Structure 1
Amino acid sequence: MNAISRIRARLGVTQQVLATALNVSQGNISHYERGQSVPPDAAKRLIAFASTRGHVLNFEDIYGPAATGEPHEHP
């Protein structure tokens, strides 16, 4: 499971819901979950969407070494 699929599972949303939130297609989400790089603008929208659901994400959660761990939650 890669960072995007873990984040999506943690947020409790379908690929289609995440796609709508990120303004991309469901196929794009599928590609991201299979390892395609997430464009920075989509990553920004993912960070903002996660925030609306009570989760704090940063670029490292999506791209960096922390991408192997769980997204951060608000205390």
Structure 2
Amino acid sequence: MNRIKEIRGQAGIRQRELFAALGWTQTRLSNYEAGRRVPGLAECREIVRALNRLGATCSLDDVFPPDLPMEAAAA
């Protein structure tokens, strides 16, 4: 799960602005936002850098929260 769309929306960044800043297609970004594709670490870092350049204040963990530990998920 990622929070690309949520953080982008909170910062008032349009999807068009983000995919242009990344140099990607709208389809590629949309697939990542919807969870249809999972970005690799390099792409995750690119997304976070672009979000920050466009005015969001976020970290890698904000946009791509780490999974809960197995013990917490089982509780």
Q: TM-score range by the shorter chain?
A: 0.5 to 0.7
State the shift of 1:7 in Å. Answer: 1.5
Equivalent pairs counted in the alignment come to: 65
| Seq. identity, % | 26
Paired residue for 2:10?
10
Which residue of the partner structure matches residue 57 of structure 2? 56
- Measure, in 2, the Cα distance between the counterparts of 1:54 and 1:16: 14
Which runs of 5 or more residues in structure 2 are unaligned?
68-75
Stretches of structure 1 that go unaligned for 5 or more consecutive residues are 67-75
Structure in which a larger fraction of residues adopt strand: 1
1:56 is paired with a residue whose SS is: coil
Alpha-carbon distance in structure 2 between the residues aligned to 1:53 and 1:25: 17
Give the TM-score taking structure 1 as reference length. Answer: 0.64
Q: Computing the radius of gyration over CA atoms, which structure comes out larger, 1 or 2?
A: 2
Larger relative contact order (Cα-Cα within 8 Å, sequence gap ≥ 6): 2
Deviant stretches of 4+, over 4 Å: none
